[in-house]
Amino acid sequence: MELKSVLVVDPVDGEYTANVKISGTKIESVDRAHGNPRAIMMPGFVDTHSHGAAGVNSMKMDHAGLEKWEEFLYPHGVTFLLPSTVSALKKDMLRVANQVSSYMEEKARTSIRGVHYEGPYINVKKKGAQNPETIRPATLKELREVLTDDVILVTMAPEIDGFFEALVEMKMQDVVVSIGHTDATFAQVNKAFEAGCDRMTHFPNGMNTLHHREVGCVGAGLILPFKLEMIVDGFHTSPEFVKLVYVIRGADNIILVTDSIDATGLEDGIYDLGGLKVTVNEGKATLDDGTIAGSTLVFDQAVRNFRKWTGCSLVELARVSSYNALTNLGIRNRGRIKEGYIADLVVMNSELNVVETILAGKTVYKL
């Protein structure tokens, strides 16, 4: 396969017109060319925080549901997805992890690349739309049971009992820990950072706010070199806040995520999130008390929003939509448009609407 005269947007080498040749699952060559490009090519989008879409709920899905979810995301440019749990009982966490592992074993080519446990080792004071009945401290005994080979990201609060022991255990297993659903002080967050935790979950949601006498979690995210997940849907974060974080921290430290739920792509109505009733009205998902409960955001819309709200360059857009997430997870063979890399690619028009998605060298969506 060869894609001629595209504007290559590589997060490291920049943007230039080129002909991109794919052989098997990898990029064989990227040859610079002259003339006006016909389309924009970026590394395929990476969503490391999503609870479902198209009627599929991560906590209830089967093989067919996971396949439906994956295929729903192709027209939105997603080539790497971590199905994410909510706080749950051990048996339910393992069911999700085992379902994902089985799916990955059976599918030779898939965007499903592992599991993100969002909880249950969080602070109940900042539970958001998490079920408080399942929130609990972390223990090494439980962690060793639930950390299967395909769990690669876990959201935890640094102030809970067992956090630092858990952090050591997960670093030994190459599991990335992200700070979230937390009421920690700046000092507690800083201690976690110094211990090797350098990521925050859906910043600044699910954490205490900035105060001039205790800058807390939000202050820590703005001061310390964390990688910050952000849900840029206009509900979780306003355009002005997104611009603020972009100006202060820069595109190199932002990771776009959707935090989408099963209502994504469907009509407004009543849905379920970890046993809690969620109402979706005009695209906004909330609990009965008004708490935001995930999103109905699709990834390509997040990309367009970020570009519009920040005025970022296309190269910066490639970083926040794929490269930053992958490098944070230690994945080095994806996220570039370069010889030898896995050919996970998204082709877009000038309005950043997806026209083609390529997964491991195969076109899985074409407008």
SS3 of the chain: the string is CEEEEEEEEECCCEEEEEEEEEECCEEEEEEECCCCCCEEEEECEEEEEECEECCEECCCCCHHHHHHHHHHHHHHCEEEEEEEECCCCHHHHHHHHHHHHHHHHHCCCCCECCEEEECCCCCHHHCCCCCHHHCCCCCHHHHHHHCCCCEEEEEECCCCCCHHHHHHHHHHCCCEEEECCECCCHHHHHHHHHCCCCEECCCCCCECCCCCCCCHHHHHHHHCCCEEEECCCCCCCCHHHHHHHHHHHCHHHEEECCCECCCCCCCCEEEEECCEEEEEECCEEECCCCCECCECCCHHHHHHHHHHHHCCCHHHHHHHHHHHHHHHCCCCCCCCCCCCCECCEEEECCCCCEEEEEECCEEEEEC
pLDDT tens series, the chain, 367 aa: 999 999 999 999 999 999 999 999 999 999 999 989 999 999 999 999 999 999 999 999 999 999 999 999 999 999 999 999 999 999 999 999 999 999 999 999 999 999 999 999 999 999 999 999 999 999 999 999 999 999 999 999 999 999 999 999 999 999 999 999 999 999 999 999 999 999 999 999 999 999 999 999 999 999 999 999 999 999 999 999 999 999 999 999 999 999 999 999 999 999 988 888 999 999 999 999 999 999 999 999 999 999 999 999 999 999 999 999 999 999 999 999 999 999 999 999 999 999 999 999 999 999 9
Report the alpha-carbon distance of residue 316 to residue 293 in Å, rounded.
29
CATH number of 1-43+335-367: 2.30.40.10
User: Which pLDDT score is estimated for 274?
Assistant: 83
- Provide the pLDDT for residue 159: 98
Residues of the binding site for Zn(2+): 118, 181, 202
Cis check for the bond before 83: say yes or no (omega within 30 of 0). Answer: no
Q: Which of 259, 262, 300, 344 is catalytic?
A: 259
- Would you call 92 a catalytic residue per the annotation? no
**Looking at residue 292, what is its pLDDT?**
93
Q: Which fold has domain 45-332?
A: TIM Barrel (3.20.20)
**Cα separation of 360 and 367, whole Å?**
18
Count of C-beta atoms within a 10 Å radius of residue 273: 24
Q: CA 232 to CA 148: how far, in whole Å?
A: 31
Give strand pairing partners of 116.
84, 153
Write the CA distances from 212 to 4, 100, 216, 218, integer angstroms: 54, 44, 9, 11
For 230, residues 6+ apart whose C-beta sits below 8 A from its C-beta are 202, 203, 236, 237, 242, 245, 254, 255, 256, 257
Cβ atoms 329, 29 nearer than 8 A = no
CA 83/CA 259 separation, integer angstroms: 10
Task: Tell how strand 276-281 and strand 2-10 pair up.
Answer: unpaired
d(Cα 339, Cα 151) in Å, to the nearest integer? 29
Positions at the binding site for substrate: 129, 205-206, 213, 236, 292-294
- Predicted confidence at residue 225, as pLDDT, reads 98
Binding residue ranges: 118, 129, 181, 202, 205-206, 213, 236, 292-294
Q: Give the per-residue pLDDT at 275.
A: 85
Q: Where in the chain is the domain with CATH 2.30.40.10?
A: 1-43+335-367
Cα 358 to Cα 365: distance, rounded to the nearest angstrom: 7
Residue with tokens 């050919």: 343
pLDDT for the residue 273: 87
CATH 3.20.20.140 domain locations along the chain:
45-332
